[in-house]
Amino acid sequence: MSDSPLPPRNNPAASASASAAGADGLWGLVLWKGSAWFSDWFYQRLQWPTAVKHTRLEDLRPNLPEGAWETLLAAIRSHLEQGIPLDAELRVQLNDGRIEWWRVTGALERNVGGQPVYLGGRMQDVTAESRRGPPAADPK
C-alpha cells in the first residue's frame, strides 16, 4: 500500500488488493458529486450483500449505533472546516449484531481554487486495541 493518506480514487483493483490485506477498509467521498465508494473490506466486515453497491456515506448509518453517526459527521466537519486531522473512533454494528470499535482516518484534497473536492481514508477494526474497552451493546 502507498504511504499516501488518500486511497486510490474509486479504483476497484487497488481497493481489492488493499482489502485482501485484511487490515483496513478504504473509503472515499467525491464531495462535489455527493457520492461515496467503499472497498470490499466494508462488504466483508459489515456483511453487506455484494449485489448492492453502496454509493453514499449515509449507507453506513444503519450500522452505526446511537451517537456514532453524529461523531463521524462532527469529525468530518471539523476536518473540512478547521483542518483538524480526521481521526475518530466509532462503534459499528455488524449485520450479525456484533459491535466493534472502528478507527476512521482520512485526508482532504482541494482543487487549485482551494475548494474541497475529495475526502478519503481508511477505517480499521480497533476493537482489541481500543482504549475505550469493549463496545457496549446498542441500547435499543
Query: Residue 1: which pLDDT band, with cuts at 50, 70 and 90?
Result: very low
Whole-number Å distance between alpha carbons of 16 and 115 = 29
Whole-number Å distance between alpha carbons of 51 and 73 = 27
Query: What pLDDT is recorded for position 17?
Result: 43
Q: What is the pLDDT of residues 47-87, one digit of tens each?
A: 888 888 889 999 999 999 999 999 999 999 999 999 999 99
Domain ranges of the chain: 12-125
Query: What pLDDT is recorded for position 129?
Result: 81
Task: Return the percentage of the chain with pLDDT > 90, whole number.
Answer: 59
Average pLDDT value for residue range 106-111: 94
pTM above 0.85, yes or no: no
Query: DSSP secondary-structure letter at 42?
Result: H
Check whether 109 has a pLDDT greater than 90.
Answer: yes
Whole-number Å distance between alpha carbons of 7 and 78 = 20
Whole-number Å distance between alpha carbons of 78 and 104 = 13
Average pLDDT value for residue range 87-95: 93
Sequence-ordered list of residues with C-beta below 8 angstroms from that of 69, at least 6 positions apart, any chain:
60, 61
Check whether 5 has a pLDDT greater than 90.
Answer: no
Average pLDDT value for residue range 110-114: 93
Query: What pLDDT is recorded for position 126?
Result: 92
Instruction: Choose the CATH number for 12-125 among 3.30.420.10, 3.30.450.20, 1.10.357.10, 3.30.70.100.
Output: 3.30.450.20
Alpha-carbon torsion, ordered 58, 64, 67, 73, to 10 deg: -30
Query: Residue 12: which pLDDT band, with cuts at 50, 70 and 90?
Result: very low
In whole angstroms, how far apart are CA 29 and each of 7, 119, 129?
Answer: 11, 5, 27
